[in-house]
Amino acid sequence: MSSLCLSACGSSSVVIKTTTTTSSIPRTVVSAWIQDRSSNASNSHNVLNAITYTKTRAWAVGDYFNGTADRTLTETLHNGSWSVVSSPNASSKHNEFDSVSGTSYNDVWAVGRYAPISGQERTLVEHWNGTQWSIVMSPNVGNFHNELDGVVARSANDVWAVGHYDTNSNASDHALIEHWNGRTWQIEPTPTFLGTFSDLNSVTAAKSGGPVWAVGSEFVLNRTITLILQYVGGIWRIQSSPNRGPYSNVLLGITATTANNAWAVGNDIHNGSSFAVIEHWDSRDWDLQEVPRRLTHHYVLSAVATDSAGRAYAVGNYFAGHADVSVILQWTGERWVLASSPKSGGLHNELLGVATRKGSVPLGVGKYFNATADRTLTVRCQC
Protein backbone atom coordinates (compact mmCIF):
# COMPACT_ATOMS: atom_id res chain seq x y z
CA MET A 1 0.00 0.00 0.00
CA SER A 2 1.32 3.44 -0.91
CA SER A 3 0.06 6.91 -0.13
CA LEU A 4 -0.05 10.45 -1.50
CA CYS A 5 -1.13 13.84 -0.15
CA LEU A 6 -3.72 16.19 -1.55
CA SER A 7 -1.48 19.07 -0.54
CA ALA A 8 2.03 19.39 0.78
CA CYS A 9 2.30 16.70 3.38
CA GLY A 10 1.89 17.98 6.89
CA SER A 11 -0.23 17.68 9.97
CA SER A 12 -3.35 19.12 8.28
CA SER A 13 -3.03 17.14 5.05
CA VAL A 14 -5.45 14.47 3.91
CA VAL A 15 -3.53 11.30 3.16
CA ILE A 16 -4.84 9.16 0.30
CA LYS A 17 -3.85 5.49 0.26
CA THR A 18 -3.58 3.48 -2.94
CA THR A 19 -4.65 -0.10 -2.36
CA THR A 20 -3.72 -3.20 -4.30
CA THR A 21 -5.88 -6.19 -3.43
CA THR A 22 -4.91 -9.82 -3.73
CA SER A 23 -7.96 -10.44 -5.89
CA SER A 24 -7.65 -12.73 -8.88
CA ILE A 25 -9.47 -10.30 -11.19
CA PRO A 26 -7.41 -9.43 -14.27
CA ARG A 27 -6.12 -5.92 -14.91
CA THR A 28 -8.66 -5.47 -17.69
CA VAL A 29 -9.81 -2.74 -20.03
CA VAL A 30 -12.47 -0.55 -18.41
CA SER A 31 -15.98 -1.84 -19.09
CA ALA A 32 -18.67 0.09 -20.94
CA TRP A 33 -22.24 0.25 -19.68
CA ILE A 34 -25.46 0.45 -21.69
CA GLN A 35 -28.97 1.55 -20.79
CA ASP A 36 -31.68 -1.06 -20.33
CA ARG A 37 -35.35 -0.54 -21.09
CA SER A 38 -36.88 -0.19 -17.63
CA SER A 39 -40.50 -0.05 -16.51
CA ASN A 40 -42.48 2.79 -14.93
CA ALA A 41 -45.66 2.50 -12.90
CA SER A 42 -47.14 5.86 -13.96
CA ASN A 43 -46.65 8.71 -16.41
CA SER A 44 -45.41 10.92 -13.59
CA HIS A 45 -42.42 10.67 -11.20
CA ASN A 46 -40.71 7.25 -11.00
CA VAL A 47 -37.35 6.46 -9.36
CA LEU A 48 -35.38 3.34 -8.43
CA ASN A 49 -33.31 3.90 -5.28
CA ALA A 50 -31.64 0.50 -4.81
CA ILE A 51 -30.99 -2.87 -6.43
CA THR A 52 -29.93 -6.34 -5.30
CA TYR A 53 -29.23 -9.78 -6.72
CA THR A 54 -30.84 -12.89 -5.29
CA LYS A 55 -29.77 -16.35 -6.45
CA THR A 56 -32.08 -16.29 -9.46
CA ARG A 57 -33.19 -12.71 -10.12
CA ALA A 58 -32.46 -9.03 -9.59
CA TRP A 59 -34.83 -6.74 -7.67
CA ALA A 60 -34.98 -2.94 -7.72
CA VAL A 61 -37.08 -0.70 -5.47
CA GLY A 62 -38.09 2.94 -5.18
CA ASP A 63 -41.29 4.94 -5.49
CA TYR A 64 -43.62 6.53 -8.05
CA PHE A 65 -46.29 9.25 -8.06
CA ASN A 66 -49.78 8.09 -9.03
CA GLY A 67 -51.24 11.56 -9.40
CA THR A 68 -52.22 11.79 -5.75
CA ALA A 69 -49.38 10.43 -3.62
CA ASP A 70 -46.06 8.58 -3.78
CA ARG A 71 -46.43 4.78 -3.84
CA THR A 72 -43.97 1.92 -3.35
CA LEU A 73 -42.29 0.67 -6.52
CA THR A 74 -40.75 -2.79 -6.96
CA GLU A 75 -39.37 -4.21 -10.19
CA THR A 76 -37.73 -7.52 -11.07
CA LEU A 77 -35.39 -8.49 -13.89
CA HIS A 78 -36.28 -11.83 -15.42
CA ASN A 79 -35.12 -13.20 -18.77
CA GLY A 80 -33.51 -9.85 -19.57
CA SER A 81 -36.66 -7.77 -19.06
CA TRP A 82 -37.63 -5.42 -16.22
CA SER A 83 -41.25 -5.54 -15.04
CA VAL A 84 -43.21 -3.84 -12.25
CA VAL A 85 -44.44 -6.10 -9.45
CA SER A 86 -47.37 -4.91 -7.34
CA SER A 87 -46.50 -3.95 -3.75
CA PRO A 88 -48.77 -2.66 -0.95
CA ASN A 89 -48.69 0.77 0.68
CA ALA A 90 -49.00 1.54 4.37
CA SER A 91 -50.72 4.88 3.85
CA SER A 92 -52.72 6.87 1.31
CA LYS A 93 -49.98 9.51 1.64
CA HIS A 94 -46.24 9.17 0.95
CA ASN A 95 -44.71 5.64 0.67
CA GLU A 96 -41.10 4.96 -0.36
CA PHE A 97 -38.56 2.13 -0.58
CA ASP A 98 -34.87 3.02 -0.14
CA SER A 99 -33.13 -0.37 0.03
CA VAL A 100 -33.61 -4.03 -0.89
CA SER A 101 -31.85 -7.32 -0.08
CA GLY A 102 -32.67 -11.01 -0.37
CA THR A 103 -31.33 -14.51 0.12
CA SER A 104 -33.44 -16.32 -2.50
CA TYR A 105 -36.32 -15.85 -4.90
CA ASN A 106 -38.87 -16.33 -2.11
CA ASP A 107 -37.05 -14.31 0.58
CA VAL A 108 -36.57 -10.63 -0.31
CA TRP A 109 -36.83 -7.59 1.98
CA ALA A 110 -37.49 -3.93 1.09
CA VAL A 111 -37.31 -1.07 3.61
CA GLY A 112 -38.08 2.64 3.64
CA ARG A 113 -40.70 4.92 5.16
CA TYR A 114 -44.29 6.04 4.92
CA ALA A 115 -46.29 9.05 6.05
CA PRO A 116 -49.46 8.20 8.01
CA ILE A 117 -52.66 10.21 7.62
CA SER A 118 -51.63 12.18 10.69
CA GLY A 119 -48.27 12.39 12.42
CA GLN A 120 -44.73 12.02 11.13
CA GLU A 121 -43.12 9.40 8.89
CA ARG A 122 -42.67 5.85 10.18
CA THR A 123 -40.51 2.86 9.21
CA LEU A 124 -41.77 0.71 6.33
CA VAL A 125 -40.73 -2.94 5.89
CA GLU A 126 -42.10 -5.37 3.30
CA HIS A 127 -41.28 -8.99 2.44
CA TRP A 128 -41.52 -10.97 -0.82
CA ASN A 129 -42.36 -14.66 -0.25
CA GLY A 130 -42.08 -15.76 -3.87
CA THR A 131 -45.68 -14.90 -4.65
CA GLN A 132 -46.44 -11.45 -3.26
CA TRP A 133 -45.16 -8.49 -1.27
CA SER A 134 -46.65 -7.94 2.18
CA ILE A 135 -46.13 -5.37 4.93
CA VAL A 136 -44.31 -6.63 8.03
CA MET A 137 -44.70 -4.72 11.29
CA SER A 138 -41.55 -2.78 12.23
CA PRO A 139 -40.85 -0.72 15.38
CA ASN A 140 -40.28 3.01 15.73
CA VAL A 141 -38.57 5.13 18.37
CA GLY A 142 -40.79 7.85 19.80
CA ASN A 143 -43.53 9.75 18.01
CA PHE A 144 -41.45 11.69 15.51
CA HIS A 145 -39.83 10.86 12.16
CA ASN A 146 -38.45 7.32 11.69
CA GLU A 147 -37.03 5.83 8.48
CA LEU A 148 -34.97 2.88 7.26
CA ASP A 149 -32.41 3.55 4.52
CA GLY A 150 -30.46 0.29 4.28
CA VAL A 151 -31.09 -3.45 4.62
CA VAL A 152 -29.02 -6.63 4.29
CA ALA A 153 -30.36 -10.18 4.51
CA ARG A 154 -27.81 -12.73 5.73
CA SER A 155 -30.34 -15.58 6.07
CA ALA A 156 -34.06 -16.05 6.51
CA ASN A 157 -33.61 -15.50 10.26
CA ASP A 158 -30.92 -12.82 10.22
CA VAL A 159 -31.73 -9.49 8.55
CA TRP A 160 -30.40 -6.05 9.49
CA ALA A 161 -31.89 -2.64 8.67
CA VAL A 162 -30.50 0.81 9.46
CA GLY A 163 -31.65 4.43 9.26
CA HIS A 164 -32.44 7.17 11.73
CA TYR A 165 -35.12 8.63 13.96
CA ASP A 166 -35.84 12.11 15.34
CA THR A 167 -36.35 12.89 19.00
CA ASN A 168 -38.30 16.09 18.38
CA SER A 169 -39.79 18.22 15.64
CA ASN A 170 -36.44 19.96 15.10
CA ALA A 171 -35.09 16.87 13.31
CA SER A 172 -32.37 15.89 15.80
CA ASP A 173 -31.37 12.67 14.01
CA HIS A 174 -30.16 9.59 15.85
CA ALA A 175 -28.92 6.34 14.33
CA LEU A 176 -31.50 3.54 14.15
CA ILE A 177 -30.68 -0.18 13.88
CA GLU A 178 -33.30 -2.94 13.63
CA HIS A 179 -32.95 -6.73 13.37
CA TRP A 180 -35.20 -9.53 12.07
CA ASN A 181 -34.74 -12.79 13.99
CA GLY A 182 -37.16 -14.87 11.92
CA ARG A 183 -40.19 -13.87 13.98
CA THR A 184 -40.17 -10.12 14.68
CA TRP A 185 -38.30 -6.91 13.95
CA GLN A 186 -36.63 -5.48 17.04
CA ILE A 187 -34.70 -2.29 17.74
CA GLU A 188 -31.05 -2.99 18.55
CA PRO A 189 -28.86 -0.92 20.89
CA THR A 190 -26.38 1.44 19.24
CA PRO A 191 -23.03 2.65 20.58
CA THR A 192 -22.70 5.90 22.48
CA PHE A 193 -21.88 8.49 19.85
CA LEU A 194 -19.66 11.49 20.38
CA GLY A 195 -21.81 13.73 18.23
CA THR A 196 -25.09 15.53 18.73
CA PHE A 197 -26.72 13.98 15.66
CA SER A 198 -26.12 10.68 13.85
CA ASP A 199 -27.64 8.68 11.01
CA LEU A 200 -26.99 5.47 9.10
CA ASN A 201 -27.46 5.22 5.33
CA SER A 202 -26.35 1.71 4.35
CA VAL A 203 -25.57 -1.71 5.79
CA THR A 204 -23.70 -4.75 4.45
CA ALA A 205 -22.42 -8.12 5.64
CA ALA A 206 -19.32 -10.10 4.80
CA LYS A 207 -19.84 -13.65 3.61
CA SER A 208 -19.36 -16.82 5.64
CA GLY A 209 -20.53 -15.39 8.95
CA GLY A 210 -18.25 -12.37 8.82
CA PRO A 211 -18.95 -8.99 10.38
CA VAL A 212 -21.80 -6.61 9.56
CA TRP A 213 -20.98 -2.96 8.76
CA ALA A 214 -23.16 0.15 8.68
CA VAL A 215 -22.16 3.62 7.48
CA GLY A 216 -23.46 7.16 7.72
CA SER A 217 -22.40 10.31 9.52
CA GLU A 218 -22.49 12.12 12.87
CA PHE A 219 -22.23 15.76 13.89
CA VAL A 220 -19.33 16.46 16.25
CA LEU A 221 -18.06 19.89 17.33
CA ASN A 222 -19.76 21.80 14.50
CA ARG A 223 -18.54 19.32 11.88
CA THR A 224 -20.16 16.38 10.10
CA ILE A 225 -17.83 13.37 10.07
CA THR A 226 -17.98 9.86 8.61
CA LEU A 227 -19.50 7.15 10.77
CA ILE A 228 -18.73 3.42 10.42
CA LEU A 229 -20.10 0.76 12.75
CA GLN A 230 -19.10 -2.91 12.89
CA TYR A 231 -21.15 -5.71 14.45
CA VAL A 232 -19.00 -8.51 15.85
CA GLY A 233 -19.62 -10.73 18.83
CA GLY A 234 -23.15 -9.49 19.36
CA ILE A 235 -22.16 -5.82 19.82
CA TRP A 236 -22.14 -2.80 17.49
CA ARG A 237 -18.91 -0.82 17.81
CA ILE A 238 -17.69 2.42 16.23
CA GLN A 239 -14.70 2.01 13.90
CA SER A 240 -12.28 4.84 13.31
CA SER A 241 -12.76 6.27 9.80
CA PRO A 242 -11.02 9.10 7.95
CA ASN A 243 -12.53 12.33 6.66
CA ARG A 244 -11.47 14.01 3.45
CA GLY A 245 -12.85 17.49 4.09
CA PRO A 246 -12.88 19.84 7.09
CA TYR A 247 -16.64 20.49 7.15
CA SER A 248 -19.17 17.89 5.98
CA ASN A 249 -18.36 14.21 5.37
CA VAL A 250 -20.99 11.56 4.69
CA LEU A 251 -20.84 7.87 3.74
CA LEU A 252 -23.82 6.71 1.67
CA GLY A 253 -22.98 3.15 0.63
CA ILE A 254 -20.95 0.13 1.76
CA THR A 255 -20.16 -3.35 0.46
CA ALA A 256 -18.00 -6.25 1.66
CA THR A 257 -16.85 -9.67 0.45
CA THR A 258 -14.86 -10.86 3.46
CA ALA A 259 -13.88 -9.63 6.91
CA ASN A 260 -10.70 -8.28 5.28
CA ASN A 261 -12.15 -6.44 2.28
CA ALA A 262 -14.85 -3.75 2.34
CA TRP A 263 -15.53 -0.54 0.43
CA ALA A 264 -17.50 2.56 1.48
CA VAL A 265 -18.47 5.56 -0.66
CA GLY A 266 -20.01 8.99 -0.19
CA ASN A 267 -18.95 12.60 -0.48
CA ASP A 268 -17.56 15.59 1.37
CA ILE A 269 -18.82 19.15 0.99
CA HIS A 270 -16.36 22.04 0.95
CA ASN A 271 -17.16 25.64 0.03
CA GLY A 272 -20.51 24.58 -1.38
CA SER A 273 -19.10 21.85 -3.63
CA SER A 274 -19.40 18.06 -3.25
CA PHE A 275 -16.50 15.73 -3.93
CA ALA A 276 -16.67 11.95 -4.20
CA VAL A 277 -15.12 9.83 -1.44
CA ILE A 278 -14.07 6.16 -1.40
CA GLU A 279 -12.73 4.34 1.66
CA HIS A 280 -11.29 0.81 1.94
CA TRP A 281 -11.06 -1.67 4.83
CA ASP A 282 -8.13 -4.11 4.77
CA SER A 283 -8.69 -5.85 8.17
CA ARG A 284 -6.60 -3.21 9.99
CA ASP A 285 -8.07 0.22 9.25
CA TRP A 286 -10.17 2.32 6.90
CA ASP A 287 -8.17 4.36 4.37
CA LEU A 288 -9.18 7.08 1.93
CA GLN A 289 -8.68 6.01 -1.68
CA GLU A 290 -7.69 8.01 -4.74
CA VAL A 291 -10.83 8.88 -6.73
CA PRO A 292 -10.90 9.83 -10.42
CA ARG A 293 -11.72 13.53 -10.31
CA ARG A 294 -14.25 15.54 -12.30
CA LEU A 295 -14.10 19.30 -12.89
CA THR A 296 -17.44 19.88 -11.24
CA HIS A 297 -19.21 21.51 -8.34
CA HIS A 298 -21.20 18.38 -7.55
CA TYR A 299 -19.68 14.88 -7.49
CA VAL A 300 -21.36 12.26 -5.31
CA LEU A 301 -21.03 8.48 -5.07
CA SER A 302 -24.29 6.97 -3.79
CA ALA A 303 -23.64 3.22 -3.81
CA VAL A 304 -20.94 0.57 -4.20
CA ALA A 305 -21.02 -3.18 -4.85
CA THR A 306 -18.46 -5.96 -5.03
CA ASP A 307 -18.55 -9.71 -5.52
CA SER A 308 -16.55 -12.81 -4.67
CA ALA A 309 -14.60 -12.48 -7.92
CA GLY A 310 -13.18 -9.17 -6.70
CA ARG A 311 -15.05 -6.92 -9.12
CA ALA A 312 -16.20 -3.64 -7.58
CA TYR A 313 -18.26 -0.75 -8.96
CA ALA A 314 -19.36 2.59 -7.52
CA VAL A 315 -22.11 4.77 -8.96
CA GLY A 316 -23.42 8.30 -8.52
CA ASN A 317 -23.55 11.53 -10.47
CA TYR A 318 -21.68 14.75 -11.17
CA PHE A 319 -22.61 18.17 -12.56
CA ALA A 320 -21.44 18.58 -16.15
CA GLY A 321 -22.05 22.32 -16.45
CA HIS A 322 -25.70 22.19 -17.51
CA ALA A 323 -27.13 19.06 -15.90
CA ASP A 324 -26.27 16.17 -13.59
CA VAL A 325 -24.72 13.20 -15.38
CA SER A 326 -24.51 9.62 -14.14
CA VAL A 327 -21.06 8.34 -13.21
CA ILE A 328 -19.71 4.79 -12.84
CA LEU A 329 -16.33 3.89 -11.36
CA GLN A 330 -14.69 0.48 -11.73
CA TRP A 331 -12.07 -1.12 -9.52
CA THR A 332 -9.34 -2.67 -11.67
CA GLY A 333 -7.62 -4.52 -8.83
CA GLU A 334 -5.11 -1.68 -8.48
CA ARG A 335 -7.06 1.57 -8.78
CA TRP A 336 -10.48 3.13 -9.42
CA VAL A 337 -11.11 4.34 -12.98
CA LEU A 338 -14.02 5.97 -14.79
CA ALA A 339 -16.17 3.64 -16.86
CA SER A 340 -18.39 4.66 -19.75
CA SER A 341 -21.84 5.54 -18.38
CA PRO A 342 -24.94 5.89 -20.60
CA LYS A 343 -26.90 9.13 -20.61
CA SER A 344 -30.62 9.27 -21.28
CA GLY A 345 -30.92 12.49 -23.25
CA GLY A 346 -29.29 15.78 -22.28
CA LEU A 347 -31.13 16.24 -18.99
CA HIS A 348 -30.59 15.08 -15.40
CA ASN A 349 -29.23 11.52 -14.96
CA GLU A 350 -28.45 9.96 -11.58
CA LEU A 351 -27.45 6.44 -10.50
CA LEU A 352 -28.46 5.54 -6.95
CA GLY A 353 -27.87 1.78 -6.69
CA VAL A 354 -25.55 -0.90 -8.07
CA ALA A 355 -25.39 -4.68 -7.74
CA THR A 356 -22.97 -7.34 -8.87
CA ARG A 357 -22.64 -11.07 -8.35
CA LYS A 358 -20.05 -13.57 -9.52
CA GLY A 359 -21.21 -15.03 -12.82
CA SER A 360 -23.80 -12.29 -13.40
CA VAL A 361 -23.75 -8.95 -15.22
CA PRO A 362 -23.33 -5.91 -12.95
CA LEU A 363 -26.45 -3.68 -12.90
CA GLY A 364 -27.21 -0.12 -11.87
CA VAL A 365 -30.43 1.81 -11.19
CA GLY A 366 -31.53 5.39 -10.64
CA LYS A 367 -33.53 8.03 -12.49
CA TYR A 368 -33.42 10.50 -15.36
CA PHE A 369 -35.51 13.55 -16.25
CA ASN A 370 -37.31 13.50 -19.61
CA ALA A 371 -38.31 17.20 -19.53
CA THR A 372 -41.64 16.29 -17.93
CA ALA A 373 -40.97 13.94 -15.00
CA ASP A 374 -38.35 11.64 -13.46
CA ARG A 375 -38.28 8.18 -15.06
CA THR A 376 -36.58 4.98 -13.91
CA LEU A 377 -33.05 4.44 -15.19
CA THR A 378 -31.53 0.95 -15.43
CA VAL A 379 -28.07 0.17 -16.84
CA ARG A 380 -25.98 -2.95 -17.33
CA CYS A 381 -22.29 -3.58 -17.75
CA GLN A 382 -20.97 -4.97 -21.04
CA CYS A 383 -18.46 -7.06 -19.11
pLDDT tens, position by position, 220-247: 988 999 999 999 989 999 999 999 988 8
Computed over every residue of the chain, the mean pLDDT equals 90
Q: Into how many domains does the chain fold?
A: 1
* pTM check: above 0.85: yes
The answer as to whether 114 is a domain residue is: yes
The answer as to whether 248 is a domain residue is: no
pLDDT value, residue 55:
85
The answer as to whether 172 is a domain residue is: no
The answer as to whether 299 is a domain residue is: no
The answer as to whether 289 is a domain residue is: no
d(CA 38, CA 366): 10
Query: Residue ranges of the chain with pLDDT lower than 70?
Result: 1-29, 169-171, 208, 295
pLDDT value, residue 27:
47
The answer as to whether 257 is a domain residue is: no
pLDDT value, residue 13:
46
The answer as to whether 150 is a domain residue is: yes
pLDDT value, residue 7:
35
The answer as to whether 234 is a domain residue is: no
pLDDT tens, 287-334?
A: 999 999 776 778 999 999 998 888 899 999 998 888 889 999 999 999
What residues make up the domain containing 102?
35-161
